Homo-oligomer: A and B are copies of this chain.
Amino acid sequence: LDYQHVQVPFEITLWIMLASLAKIGFHLYNKLPSIVPESCLLIFVGLIMGGIIYGLNDRSPPVMDSDIFFLYLLPPIVLDAGYFMPSRPFFENIGTILLYAVVGTIWNVFGIGFSLYGICQVKAFRLQDVSLLHNLLFGSLIAAVDPVAVLAVFEEIHVNEKLHILVFGESLLNDAVTVVLYKLFRSFCEMPTIKSVDVFAGVGKFFVVGLGGVLVGLSFGFTAAFTTRFTKDIRVIEPLFVFLYSYLSYLTAEMFHLSGIVAIISCAMGMKRYVEANISLKSHTTVKYFMKMWSSVSDTLIFIFLGVSTIGENHEWNWPYICFTVIFCLIWRALGVLVLTFFVNRFHVNTITSKDQFIIAYGGLRGAICFSLVFLLPDFHRKKLFIAATTVVILFTVFIQGMTIRPLVDLLAVKRKRESAPTVGEQIHIRFLDHLLAGIEDISGHWGQYYWKDKLEYFNSKYLQKILLREYDQPKSSIVLLYEKLERKHAIELAQAGQLGHGPAQPSFLCSAFLCSSSDRTVITDQKLEDTLNPNVLDNMQEILARNLYRIRRTGPAYNRHTLPGESEPTEQAKEILILRHKSL
């Protein structure tokens, strides 16, 4: 037996296997994941595992290494998030998101830091040795909302798109602020005296870290798109470039102390449309599938490790400090959201309702990023207290808030995400309105959102596409692409039902899709058509229409981490095919 030799890959594989099997286990009992979020279950598995390891070895189980977390586990999740980010709602709400992410996070950091410092002044709590700077450092790591935790919970509750993008976008973009504040306070802790120059340099750094991340990401994204122009003869390595360039953008940003999360998101969003046009359909399926798979595994591992790391002797318990941390986290976030939303609502017609505000404040979950940052702190005598407080805040937000947010959403009747994909008719209308508004803004001389979008689109089709796309002379509009996709899907369904070519002539799918998209669903019976066709044919058409309508209702399930869009149930399909085949025989 030569275990030493294979230890590293063997143990990694086993951990991944455990995570995947745990995931399968939960989904075997359908009721469980619908009550408790998966993240809670996974932390629970981790706690049990940690307990077993602690019991067997009689020493603390290994703590999740911050390097492993930031270099290997976090990038896949953020890449997945960036690549599948719905770009329209994101850019429509970018102002609000940035306000929450930058001003909101700073507000939370200083709010929590100063109030905890106030608590430390109470003599009875015996916390007088924790300085203001240490409290602010702690505030900077505990204030950041965690994208992994938010994603895990919000994907399951299906709130409306705007609410989702507000919370999720904030959790992604606050990384730049957190990185700057955390590093700033940490270096202040080590400095003997702090000059005002250092404080101003810190403020300047916000822009460098954030915009630098965007620049690094976009340059890697465009390079990736340019590279895929030349992969026509070796299709199999196409998916690789998507992963390699995004990962490089993350690592490069981290290397220069910029925001890696912002970089990888810019990279993914920048390359997506060009890469998708260049690579083959199967490569694209692989990219999508593998990204989902990878992020799903990373996410599972993170929560399990979080559970395992909780067990052990790293903690120093101090009731007042820990309780007040939880309370201040809740209060300052709620206050921040209220104040910021008040200003946001003054400038927007489409306001954020008070229900939405409550969910935004309540959805501020903390997760593995805080946990990794607290372990990265320099050693000082109260580090174990900070670790304990962070662990409690994470467990509180993930368990209590994560488990109650779904019933609260039901109770408050928060507007849900629509379950169906937009119809072709809707898409045409949206596009038409975009053009109209861009024209209005152009004429009135108002440089608004639509004006810039139009200019960007012009720049894209005039220069970028020529450089980055292999066949730039065929710019297909998204409507045509959608039509092709629908036709392809329809054809596959027909083939599976054994109807291809056997039955009578059928009306085009697009036609029926349009009929369906008209809201009143009146069947336009052209008099002339009725005259020339006999009743049998008409019945037949009605039947086909009915079937197509049924199909449309079935399409477009709500977005979910565990399924890919457009995936249908094979057992159901198989049954249907069998029945249809029998009938046709």
- A interface residues with partner B (beta carbon < 8 Å): 1-3, 5-6, 9-10, 13-14, 16-17, 20-21, 23-24, 27-28, 30, 67, 71-72, 227, 230-237, 239-241, 244, 247-248, 251-252, 254-257, 280-283, 285-286, 289-290, 292-293, 296-297, 470-471, 474, 484, 487-488, 490-492, 494-496, 498, 500-509, 561-564, 567, 570-571, 574
Residues of chain B lying within 8 A (CB to CB) of residue A574: 471, 474
Are B501 and A71 touching (Cβ within 8 A)? no
Q: Please classify the interface of chain A as helix (H, G, I), strand (E, B), loop, or mixed, using the class held by over half of its residues.
A: helix
Known: A508-B500, A508-B501. A230 touches B28 (CB 8 A): yes
Partner of A504, one of B240, B280, B282, B505: B505
Nearest CB in chain B: distance from A247 CB, A: 6
Nearest CB in chain B: distance from A35 CB, A: 16
Residues of chain B lying within 8 A (CB to CB) of residue A495: 484, 487-488, 490-491
Are A20 and B490 touching (Cβ within 8 A)? no
Are A293 and B491 touching (Cβ within 8 A)? no
Partner of A234, one of B6, B23, B505: B23
Cα A454 to Cα B353 in complex, Å, equals 69
Residues of chain B lying within 8 A (CB to CB) of residue A28: 230, 233
Cα A289 to Cα B30 in complex, Å, equals 31
Cα A494 to Cα B251 in complex, Å, equals 45
Partner of A241, one of B20, B232, B237, B254: B20
Residues of chain B lying within 8 A (CB to CB) of residue A257: 2
Nearest CB in chain B: distance from A486 CB, A: 9
Cα A251 to Cα B13 in complex, Å, equals 10
Are A247 and B13 touching (Cβ within 8 A)? yes
Known: A293-B240, A508-B501. A564 touches B282 (CB 8 A): yes
Residues of chain B lying within 8 A (CB to CB) of residue A244: 13, 16-17, 20
Known: A289-B283, A487-B500. A21 touches B255 (CB 8 A): no
Cα A306 to Cα B531 in complex, Å, equals 77
Q: Whose C-beta in chain B lies nearest to the C-beta of A255? A: B6
Q: Whose C-beta in chain B lies nearest to the C-beta of A2? A: B255
Residues of chain B lying within 8 A (CB to CB) of residue A240: 16, 20, 293, 297
**26 A-B pairs, CB-CB below 8 angstroms?**
A1-B255, A1-B256, A9-B71, A9-B72, A9-B247, A13-B247, A13-B251, A16-B240, A16-B244, A20-B240, A24-B230, A24-B237, A27-B234, A234-B296, A237-B296, A239-B293, A283-B289, A286-B289, A488-B492, A491-B500, A500-B506, A500-B509, A501-B505, A502-B505, A502-B508, A504-B505
Q: Whose C-beta in chain B lies nearest to the C-beta of A508? A: B501
Are B254 and A5 touching (Cβ within 8 A)? yes
Q: Whose C-beta in chain B lies nearest to the C-beta of A470? A: B571
Partner of A6, one of B6, B254, B570: B254
Are B484 and A496 touching (Cβ within 8 A)? yes
Q: Whose C-beta in chain B lies nearest to the C-beta of A233? A: B27
Residues of chain B lying within 8 A (CB to CB) of residue A504: 505
Are A237 and B500 touching (Cβ within 8 A)? no
A14, A233, A296: residue with the most chain B Cβ atoms closer than 10 Å:
A233
Are A296 and B496 touching (Cβ within 8 A)? no
Cα A239 to Cα B16 in complex, Å, equals 13
Nearest CB in chain B: distance from A295 CB, A: 9
Cα A296 to Cα B494 in complex, Å, equals 36
Are B237 and A293 touching (Cβ within 8 A)? yes
Q: Whose C-beta in chain B lies nearest to the C-beta of A75? A: B9
Residues of chain B lying within 8 A (CB to CB) of residue A27: 230, 233-234
Residues of chain B lying within 8 A (CB to CB) of residue A281: 570
Residues of chain B lying within 8 A (CB to CB) of residue A562: 233-236
Nearest CB in chain B: distance from A546 CB, A: 16
Are B235 and A71 touching (Cβ within 8 A)? no
Known: A1-B255, A487-B500, A492-B491. A23 touches B282 (CB 8 A): no
Q: Whose C-beta in chain B lies nearest to the C-beta of A4? A: B255
Nearest CB in chain B: distance from A454 CB, A: 28
Residues of chain B lying within 8 A (CB to CB) of residue A484: 495-496
Residues of chain B lying within 8 A (CB to CB) of residue A252: 10
* Nearest 6 interchain pairs by C-beta: A491-B491, A491-B495, A501-B506, A27-B233, A286-B289, A487-B495
Are A290 and B286 touching (Cβ within 8 A)? yes
Are B237 and A567 touching (Cβ within 8 A)? no
Residues of chain B lying within 8 A (CB to CB) of residue A567: 235, 280, 282
Nearest CB in chain B: distance from A13 CB, A: 6
Nearest CB in chain B: distance from A66 CB, A: 11
Nearest CB in chain B: distance from A481 CB, A: 12
Q: A5-B254, A488-B492 are in contact. List 14 more A-B contacts (CB 8 A).
A: A9-B72, A10-B252, A14-B248, A16-B244, A17-B244, A17-B248, A20-B241, A233-B562, A235-B564, A236-B563, A282-B285, A282-B289, A286-B293, A491-B492
Are B508 and A5 touching (Cβ within 8 A)? no
Cα A393 to Cα B285 in complex, Å, equals 42
Known: A488-B495, A500-B487. A251 touches B6 (CB 8 A): yes
Are A290 and B71 touching (Cβ within 8 A)? no
Are A292 and B236 touching (Cβ within 8 A)? yes
Residues of chain B lying within 8 A (CB to CB) of residue A3: 255
Residues of chain B lying within 8 A (CB to CB) of residue A292: 236
Q: Whose C-beta in chain B lies nearest to the C-beta of A577? A: B484
